[in-house]
Amino acid sequence: MFSHEPIEWPDEVEVLIDRLERESSKRALNREERALMDVYETVPVLEGEDGLHGFWQSGVDHQRVINSFELIGATMMVDPLNASRWCETRPEDRYDYSETEEEYLSTIEEDLFSGMDELLDLVLAFIEEELG
């Protein structure tokens, strides 16, 4: 459906995420750690078949996730997420959208995926600056 190449997280990120997942059962993650986890967990949802619709239909704390993208410096992701907020109140099946709604959502997703091209570099910089 989309031309975006899925993000492949480097080992450095995968190891850190595994460590944070283990530690989260013993202690509360700080805001920066939680932001990294939010971004890591949300990317596969956004890259999935339902894209932004899937994000808004998921049970995550949407505003916290949006704030997490902003905190790591991925502001180019925030506008498309906010612009698609209307999907939260739409039918559970993306294929029930009108042609106009689907076209509008596809346009927003194009912006989202062009922003995702920078996401890996932003996450690595965030880890180095905030968690390193």
| pLDDT per residue as tens digits for the range 27-51 | 999 999 999 999 999 999 999 989 9
| Distance in angstroms (rounded) separating the CA atoms of residues 28 and 1 | 38
| Distance in angstroms (rounded) separating the CA atoms of residues 128 and 99 | 44
Q: Hey, where are the domains in the chain?
A: 11-131
> CA-CA distances (angstroms) from residue 120 to 4, 29, 66, 90, 124?
13, 21, 16, 30, 6
* 9 CB-near residues (< 8 Å, 6+ apart): 17, 40, 120, 123
Question: Chunked in runs of 10, what are the mean pLDDT values of the chain (132 residues)?
Answer: 76 95 94 97 93 93 97 95 93 87 94 90 94 81
> Does pTM surpass 0.85?
yes
| pLDDT per residue as tens digits for the range 94-105 | 888 999 999 999
| Distance in angstroms (rounded) separating the CA atoms of residues 117 and 13 | 16
